[in-house]
Amino acid sequence: FCMISPEQKQAYLQKLHGLGVHNIEMEAAAFGAFCKKMGIPAACMCVALLNRLEGDQVTSTPKQLGAFSDNPQQLLIQYIASTRKQQGAGQKVA
* Predicted structure pTM score: 0.53
pLDDT over threshold 60, residue 76: yes
Average pLDDT over residues 25-54: 87
pLDDT at 3: 83
Tens-digit pLDDT profile for residues 79-94: 989 988 888 866 654 4
The answer to whether 14 touches 6, Cβ cutoff 8 Å, is: no
> How far, in Å, CA of 79 to CA of 43, rounded?
11
Tens-digit pLDDT profile for residues 14-29: 999 999 988 778 788 8
The answer to whether 41 touches 62, Cβ cutoff 8 Å, is: no
pLDDT over threshold 60, residue 1: no
Reference 59, options 45, 48, 69; nearest CA is 48
> How far, in Å, CA of 81 to CA of 70, rounded?
16
